[in-house]
Structure 1
Amino acid sequence: MESPALSSVIDSLNQFNDPRDPKKIIHPLPTILFISICAIFCGANSWEDIVMWAEVHKKWLSKYVDVSNGTPSYSTIRRIFMIIKPACWGALTQKVLSSHHSNKKAEVHISIDGKTLRGSKCAAKDIRAMQIVSAWSTENNIILGEVKTDSKSNEVTAIPLLLALLDLEDATISIGCGSFLTTSNYPI
């Protein structure tokens, strides 16, 4: 029997626009996103971790999403996340967290930092490694949002875009910049 909480997550995933060619789809987009959400919330840190988690939980997953073609490969999951706008993914995860995290604490301190995603570079296709700027809730131990940096820019231009996605009222923002840390109250 499907839980109401998971039903609302799956309903949200079904609203995502699938940008892929319909003739080439083996795994439905809601399936890939649901697997990814569940695996990430269970501690997956890489594409391979997501696939491994899906393989271990395939029977449970089949109650909620279509895994009739097996679980997606790490490269399929990676490609999906390369074409989905990070702001859309961040909004979706925030929606899921907000509706299902009943004991979520108010944000007092939010840490902002940029990272290079391992495995996102492809020298053969002249694709630069993907840079992501993330906002971390120190009170709730979760990522509040992420923004991909523009290919010809850096973290500094992505930070205002990320801050615009967040509820910052009464929160202190700290930004990791190389070897130093800056802390300030962001003006609302």
Structure 2
Amino acid sequence: MDVMKEIEQIEDHRVEANKEYDLADIIFLTIAAVLCGATGWKAINIFGEAQLDWLRQYRPFSNGIPTRHSIGRIIRGVKAESMMSCFINFSNTLRERDGKEHISFDGKVACGSKHGDNVAALQLMTAMVVDNGLIIRQKETSTKTNEIPVMQSMLKHMDIEN
């Protein structure tokens, strides 16, 4: 049930010569900073510099904290699917630890995500474990649609029984 083990599984697509900073270090830094209120690369860098001793309790950070530009470049290079998979796997380990639980599905449109006539609003179907509030799967839908077929599709790809 260690989120670090899941983070370490995220594939690093950088060229070996460009790996001055460990990917798992940077992902951990970013998650910790965002959970503490950081809203941009500069804030993540400032958090990292201020909390380096604490961060090193969990990861080596052998070369210290990268610049805000490097943090942004490194994180932008991570595939969103890899990050989603990491968190889903971690959420599933928490869910499995607790035994059988009720899973709720809900479709939502993200307010403010529509931009003009060319960019439609973001629409998501979310599966959540009700008892602990963990989101275990999300799927983007192209249009406002009947939620039942989307939910059925999501269930096929979830590792659940009974």
Alignment partner of 2:129 out of 120, 126, 137: 137
Q: Which 5+ residue runs of structure 1 have no aligned equivalent?
A: 170-188
More strand by share: 1
More helix by share: 2
Identity %: 16
Work out whether 1:165 is the aligned partner of 2:158. Answer: yes
Give the Cα–Cα distance (whole angstroms) in 1 for the partners of residues 111 and 16 of structure 2: 28
Alignment partner of 1:48 out of 32, 36, 40: 40
The count of aligned residue pairs is 151
Which structure has more relative contact order (CA 8 Å, sep 6+)? It is 2
Q: CA deviation at 1:10?
A: 3.0
Moved segments of 4+, more than 6 Å = 126-130
Q: Is the 8 A contact 2:25 2:60 kept in 1?
A: yes
String of CA shifts for 1:133-164, please: whole Å, max 9, x gaps. 432222102222233x37xx347576444332
**Counterparts in 2 of 1:57 and 1:69: CA distance versus 1, 3 Å:** closer
Give the Cα–Cα distance (whole angstroms) in 1 for the partners of residues 123 and 37 of structure 2: 16
* Aligned residue runs from structure 1 range 141-160, under 5 A: 141-147=133-139, 149=140, 153-154=142-143, 159-160=151-152
Q: CA deviation at 1:113?
A: 3.1
Q: CA RMSD in A?
A: 4.6
The residue matched to 1:165 in structure 2 has which SS? coil
Q: CA deviation at 1:60?
A: 1.4
- Match of residue 34 from structure 1: 28
- Match of residue 75 from structure 1: 72
Q: Is the 8 A contact 1:14 1:30 kept in 2?
A: yes
String of CA shifts for 1:12-59, please: whole Å, max 9, x gaps. 33333212333434432212333355556xx46775398279535432
Q: Is the 8 A contact 1:9 1:96 kept in 2?
A: no
Q: Is the 8 A contact 1:116 1:129 kept in 2?
A: yes
The TM-score normalised by the length of structure 2 is 0.57
